[in-house]
Structure 1
Amino acid sequence: ADRPAVRRAAEVFAQRAAVITFSFRGHGRSGGRSTVGDREVLDLAAAVAWARSLGHRRVVTVGFSMGGSVVLRHAALYRSADGSGEGPGEGEKDSGDRAGRVGRRTEACDGRAGAHTDAVVAVSAPARWYYRGTAPMRRLHWVVTRRTGRLVGRYGFRTRIHTEDWDPVPLSPVEAVPLIRVPLLIVHGDRDPYFPLDHPRALAAAARGHAELWLERGMGHAENAADEDLLTRVAEWTASA
Structure 2
Amino acid sequence: MGSGAEADFARSCVSSITSSGHRASLLTSDGVRIEAAHTPREAPGGPPSGDLVVVLAHGFSGALERPALRRAAAAFTQRAGVVTFSFRGHGRSGGHSTVGDREVHDLAAAVRWARSLGYRRVATIGFSMGGSVVLRHAAIHGQGERGGRTGAHTDVVVAVSSPARWYYRGTASMRRLHWVITRPTGRLVSRLGLRTRIHPEDWDPVPLSPTEAVPLIAPTPLLLVHGDRDPYFPVDHPHMLMAAADPASSELWLERGFGHAENAAEPELLERIGEWITAHG
User: Is the TM value for this pair above 0.5?
Assistant: yes
Cα distance per residue 1:90-143 (max 9 Å; x no partner):
xxxxxx6xxx8xxxxxxxxxxx95101001000000000000000000000000
Taking a change above 3 Å as real, the CA distance of residues 179 and 113 of structure 1, as seen in their structure-2 partners, is closer
Confirm or deny that 1:137 pairs with 2:174: yes
Confirm or deny that 1:170 pairs with 2:233: no
Instruction: Mark the runs of 5 or more structure 1 residues left unpaired by the alignment.
Output: 88-95, 101-111
SS in 2 for 1:163: coil
SS in 2 for 1:41: helix
Which structure shows the higher helix fraction? 1
Which structure shows the higher strand fraction? 2
* RMSD over equivalenced CA pairs, Å: 1.5
Partner of 2:67: 4
Partner of 2:255: 216
Confirm or deny that 1:117 pairs with 2:180: no
Percent pairwise identity: 75
The answer to whether the Cα contact below 8 Å between 1:62 and 1:122 also exists between their aligned partners in 2 is yes
Confirm or deny that 1:193 pairs with 2:231: yes
Residue 78 of structure 2 aligns with an amino acid whose one-letter code is Q
The answer to whether the Cα contact below 8 Å between 1:49 and 1:113 also exists between their aligned partners in 2 is no
Cα distance per residue 1:34-84 (max 9 Å; x no partner):
0000000000000000100010010000000000000000000003xxxx4
Q: Report the Cα distance in structure 2 between the residues aligned to 1:190 and 1:207, rounded to whole angstroms.
A: 20
Q: Report the Cα distance in structure 2 between the residues aligned to 1:175 and 1:68, rounded to whole angstroms.
A: 14
Partner of 2:245: 207
Q: Report the Cα distance in structure 2 between the residues aligned to 1:155 and 1:28, rounded to whole angstroms.
A: 12
Matches within 5 A, 1:61-100: 61-79=124-142, 84-85=143-144, 87=145
SS in 2 for 1:59: strand
* Aligned-pair CA distance for 1:28: 1.0
Partner of 1:184: 222
Greater length-normalized contact order (CA 8 Å, ≥ 6 residues apart): 1
Partner of 1:33: 96
SS in 2 for 1:26: coil
Runs of 4+ in 1 over 3 A off after TM superposition: none
Q: With structure 1 as the length reference, what TM-score do the two structures score?
A: 0.87
Residue 114 of structure 2 aligns with an amino acid whose one-letter code is A
SS in 2 for 1:20: strand
The answer to whether the Cα contact below 8 Å between 2:141 and 2:150 also exists between their aligned partners in 1 is no
Q: Report the Cα distance in structure 1 between the residues aligned to 2:150 and 2:140, rounded to whole angstroms.
A: 13
* Aligned-pair CA distance for 1:211: 1.1
Q: Report the Cα distance in structure 1 between the residues aligned to 2:74 and 2:192, rounded to whole angstroms.
A: 28
Q: Report the Cα distance in structure 2 between the residues aligned to 1:236 and 1:63, rounded to whole angstroms.
A: 16
Confirm or deny that 1:235 pairs with 2:245: no
Match of 2:117 among 42, 54, 57: 54
Q: With structure 2 as the length reference, what TM-score do the two structures score?
A: 0.75
Instruction: Mark the runs of 5 or more structure 2 residues left unpaired by the alignment.
Output: 1-63
Residue 187 of structure 1 aligns with an amino acid whose one-letter code is V
